[in-house]
Amino acid sequence: MKQFEESVYRLIVETSTNLPADVRRAVNRGRAAEDAATRAGLALSTIAQNIEMAEQEVSPICQDTGMPTFVVHTPVGANQIEMKKSIYQAVIRATRDGKLRPNSVDSLTGSNSGDNLGPGTPVIHFEQWEEDDIDLRLILKGGGCENKNIQYSLPAELEGLGKAGRDLDGIRKCILHAVYQAQGQGCSAGFIGVGIGGDRTTGYELAKQQLFRHAEDINPHPDLQKLEEYVMETANQLGIGTMGFGGEVTLLGCKIGAMNRLPASFFVSVAYNCWAFRRQGALIDPVTGDIRSWLYESGSHVAMNAETEAAPAAPAEAPEKGREVVLQTPISEEQVRSLRVGDVVIIRGEMHTGRDALHKHLMDHDAPLDLNGAVIYHCGPVMLKDDEGWHVKAAGPTTSSREEPYQGHILKKFGIRAVIGKGGMGANTLQALQEHGAVYLNAIGGAAQYYAECIQRVNGVDFMEFGIPEAMWHLQVDGFAAIVTMDSHGNSLHADVSRDSKAKLEMFKEPVFA
């Protein structure tokens, strides 16, 4: 087993940087179904470009490499203790090399371990089997989509769908509601794994296990096969679309499994995964530790284009892309007031990253530099340092809704004119944008290589004590593109899509499965 640690390292790199072929084909089918002239079409085009950039650069597809979760099937007699040690060492090395972002945070102190190790991280599930090889699988599921996981206890009353009972039709309603409540915040178009039954813990485990299935397989259970097909057809009629911009493609895959349950409990658990569906596996020689074969077809030979068997759809009333506006920082109130929802903004100059720790800090403290006219980017980048200084290896947006309790106050306190993130923000922020004269810009979630390419240099950093993802990085950018989804005139694309998708959700109230 001398080569086992190296094999684990290779698995981490492959999973983080190269989407497998089945996922790429699903993205291509999505592109073929979407009008390229819409906001969703632009987003899917950027996603496709980012996938190829990550492979070429051998850099993370998305900056949020999530909670590394390993599932290991071992022959009887294998030394799982030594295997766990090797996995730890491979995780440390991958973090040091910028293939994983340091994501292990102490839940009580907020301190980042810096190497992705700590109580409970990474997650490793061992199971013996009566086979000769080691089956080692890894999924990297980011926090944005992890936060959109949801569990239902039936019977339940569901918004837009009414009563969901303890039957196949109740399960159907839960799954549709799960897609609706995500509203693109999990970086749609996405994939979902569904677990029916079990207890609260095993239900979620079963849901996540479904994400290891091949995206193009067929469920052997006829009822679940029909349900998967129904969900794929129906969820894409909700109009949520890529990044929640509206459109034809909301879901790229749905896999459902079932297990027995207690008479008193009926759980439906949904694990939501973003379009950056990073999972891979390998069969490993139990004697040498070498990789014998990959478990998912490599995506290297699948070009990211829209040429698929699916015929392009003709979207009804597809929103056209807005005008393109170049903004040099610092930005004036007059410039911001001229922007409208749908405009594409190209930013040049300096911007500053800021996530949960920084927003909380700025509520009661001064900023380390003048933020009047500034741009705050909700981003936790992957960073590497050498003799020449810090370099950005991946820098896509994080989910903005977590900053809703702080954002409006911070905008007005410091004179910030633009906020960049993904998924939109709420009523308090929208009101602050109106009162202060600021704008919310939605970047393409997961497009970490696309945006890293726009960063010319790192001008500096503050609050490194918060850890690399939460520190305030000062970045010099050029050609950084994002879409206005909340403007200074009270308009919110996110609120519009949420309202419209709820109306469409109500169309599926009536029973489908007897």
Mean per-residue pLDDT for 52-70? 97
Phi, psi of 508 (to 5 degrees): -110, 30
Q: What tens digit of pLDDT does each residue of 387-425 get?
A: 999 999 999 999 999 999 999 999 999 999 999 999 999
pLDDT at 317: 45
Domains in the chain, number: 3
Q: How far is CA 436 from the centre of its chain?
A: 30
4 and 92, same domain (yes or no): yes
Q: Is residue 259 domain-shared with residue 348, that is, in the same domain?
A: no
Is residue 44 within 8 A of residue 84, CB to CB? The reply is no
Give residue-wise pLDDT tens across range 287-313. Answer: 999 999 999 999 999 999 755 444 344
Q: Mapping DSSP to helix (H, G, I), strand (E, B) and coil, where does residue 180 land?
A: helix
Closest CA to 177 of 483, 512, 509: 509
Q: Spell out where 370-442 has E strands.
A: 375-377, 382-386, 389-394, 418-421, 439-442
Cis-peptide, bond into residue 482, ω within 30° of zero? no
User: Do the domain assignments include residue 439?
Assistant: yes
Angle at 243 between CA 481 and CA 379, to 5 degrees: 55
SS (H, E, C) 295-312: CCCCCCCCCCCCCCCCCC
Residue 1, pLDDT score: 80
Same domain, 132 and 158: no
204: in domain = yes
Residues 343 and 469 occupy one common structural domain: yes
Pairing status of strand 190-196 against strand 156-158: unpaired
Q: What is the C-alpha to C-alpha distance for residues 116 and 90, in angstroms, rounded to an integer?
A: 11
Q: Do 21 and 160 belong together in one domain? A: no
Tokens of 495: 């609120």
In a domain, 120, yes or no: yes
Judge if 387 and 476 occupy the same domain.
yes
What is the pLDDT of the chain when averaged over all its residues?
95
User: 298 in a domain, yes or no?
Assistant: no
Judged against a pLDDT cut of 70, whether residue 318 lies above it is answered with no
| Whole-number Å distance between alpha carbons of 186 and 145 | 4
pLDDT tens digits for range 264-294: 999 999 999 999 999 999 999 999 999 999 9
Under 8 Å between Cβ of 32 and 312:
yes
Q: What is the DSSP string of 243-312?
A: GGS-SS-SEEEEEEEE----TT--EEEEEEE-SS-EEEEEEE-TTT--EEEESS--STTS--SS-SSSPP
- Give the Cα separation of 214 and 271 in Å (integer): 16
Count of Cβ atoms closer than 10 Å to residue 474 Cβ: 17
Whether residue 316 has pLDDT greater than 60: no
**How many of the other CB atoms lie within 10 Å of CB of 418?**
27
Strands 251-258 and 190-196: parallel
Structure pTM?
0.94
- Tokens representing 111 are 């301190």
Query: Any idea what the CATH number is for the domain that residue 475 is in?
Result: 3.20.130.10
Where residue 124 falls among pLDDT bands split at 50, 70, 90?
very high
Report d(CA 290, CA 24) in Å as an integer.
Answer: 27
> Does 282 fall in a domain?
no
Q: What local confidence, expressed as pLDDT, does residue 311 receive?
A: 39
223 in the same domain as 103 = no
What residues make up the domain containing 189? 143-273
